[in-house]
Amino acid sequence: MGRAIVSLLRRMEDMEVVAIADTSIEALERTKPFLPKDALVTTNPVEVLTKKPDVLVEATPTIIEAALLVIRAVEEKTHVVLMNSEVDQTFGRLLAKRAEADGVILTSDAGDQHGVLVRTVNDIRHMGFEVVMAGNNKGFLNRYANPESIKDEAAKRRLSFGQCVAYTDGTKLAIEMALVANAFGLDLLETGMIGPRVDSVKAALEVFDLARARKLGGVVDYVLGAEPGGSVFVIGYSDDQEDRFYMNYYKMGAGPYYLFVRPYHLCHFETPLAIRGIMEHGRPILVQKRRILEVGCRAKIDLRLGTKLEGIGGRHVYGVLEKPGGLPIGMVEGTILVKSKRRDEAIGWDDVEFPRDDPRLPLWEEQIRLEAGNDIQAFQALMP
C-alpha cells in the first residue's frame, strides 16, 4: 500500500511526496523509482518529519511503533492519515485527541472499507434516512488461517503473511467494523456479528432482523461471499409516504428499508481524498467518538500456559467484534499466557502477563481515562 500510494501521488499536480520510511531496505528500493530525486528515503520513520510534511500517511500494520510515530508527528504539527487500521482501532481515540490538542487532524483513510462506509453513511443521513445497518461484504472467511495456510494467496496478492492472515481470519473485518461503530455509535446484533452467506448483497434486506437493528439504534454487520465482490452497503429507513413514493419511483423498492450499495472500495486510489479533505476543508474522513465496540481475542488453536502470543495475523489468535471489557487484539502480541486456552475460547486481561515496561500500557491507560472520564468503575473494568 505504501508503494502504491507513492506511485499514485506522483501523478497528482497538487501533491508531492517529500519523504518515505520503512524498516525494510528492500521495500524502499522498490519504491525509489516513483520518487522525486530530492525525496528523503530512510529506515528511521521519525526522520521523515525533518522534511516538514503537511500530512503523514501511516501505511504499516504496526501498532505501538505507529502510535509513537503518530504522537511525534502531531507534536510537530503534522496532520495524519491512517491507512493503518490496526493502530487506528487500538489507539485511534487517544491519537485523535492528541492531534486535536495540537491543532492538527488525524483521520482514518478514505479508501478502505471503513472509510468508504463512513462516507456512504454520511451521504444517506444527509438525504434524511435513518441508518439501520452499516455492512461489509467479506469474500472469504477462515477463522483458523495461519501464515502457512495462506502462503500462496499472500504471494499472489503481494501481501505479507500477517496481512493476508488478518484479512482471512476475520480480524481485519472486525477492526474495520469497530471503527465504523465507534464513529457513529452503532451497536451489533450479536457478539462477532452474524455474517450470513448470500449470493448477492441485495439479500441483506432479507437476512437480518432489521426491526431489532433499528431498535438498537443501528448496527454493523457483514454478508459473506456476495456479489459484487469488494462492495460495502448501508441499509437506511424511512416510513415517510412521500419518501416511499419517490424511492419506489427511483427503483429503490417499496421500503421502508432501503439498500444503498457502494460496489467498490479502492484503497490507495482514494487516499488523496483523505489528504484533500484535510488540506482543503479541514475535515477528517473518520474519527472514533467513543469505544462502543471492541475487537477481542479468541484462540485459534489450543494454547498452553506459558505461550508467548503472536498478535494480529499470526498463529495464535483471531479478532472478534464485541462489547468492551476483554483484551483488545491490538494489545495481545508478546504477552505470556498465564492460563491454558482451548480453541475459540476468549482471552482476557487476566489471562495474560505483559512484558515489563510495556509501552502500550501507558497509552491504553491514557485512552481509557479519556473514555471513562470520572467513571472510576468503567476505568477499572478496562484496565489490566
pLDDT surpassing 70 at residue 379 = no
pLDDT over 90 percentage in the chain: 92
Q: What is the pLDDT of residue 375?
A: 67
Nearest Cα neighbor of 341 from 328, 331, 330, 350 is 350
Domain edges within the chain: 2-111, 113-265, 294-381
CA-CA distance, 272 to 15, in Å (whole number)?
9
pLDDT surpassing 90 at residue 157 = no
User: Where does the pLDDT of residue 347 fall: very low under 50, low under 70, confident under 90, or very high at 90 and above?
Assistant: very high
Q: What is the pLDDT of residue 222?
A: 98
pLDDT surpassing 80 at residue 374 = no
> Which residue has cell 444503498?
260
pLDDT surpassing 70 at residue 380 = no
Q: What is the pLDDT of residue 90?
A: 98
Cβ atoms of residues 91 and 363 within 8 Å: yes
pTM of the full structure:
0.96
pLDDT surpassing 70 at residue 309 = yes
pLDDT surpassing 80 at residue 58 = yes
Tens digit of each residue's pLDDT (9 = 90 or more) over 169-210: 999 999 999 999 999 999 999 999 999 999 999 999 999 999
Q: What is the mean pLDDT of the chain?
A: 96
pLDDT surpassing 90 at residue 348 = yes
Q: What is the pLDDT of residue 154?
A: 84
User: Where does the pLDDT of residue 373 fall: very low under 50, low under 70, confident under 90, or very high at 90 and above?
Assistant: confident
Q: What is the pLDDT of residue 382?
A: 66
CATH class of domain segment(s) 294-381: alpha beta
Higher pLDDT, 157 or 171: 171
CATH class of domain segment(s) 2-111: alpha beta
CA dihedral (362, 364, 365, 371) positive or negative: positive
pLDDT surpassing 70 at residue 227 = yes
Tens digit of each residue's pLDDT (9 = 90 or more) over 120-134: 999 999 999 999 999
Higher pLDDT, 382 or 159: 159
Q: What is the pLDDT of residue 371?
A: 82
Q: What is the pLDDT of residue 155?
A: 86
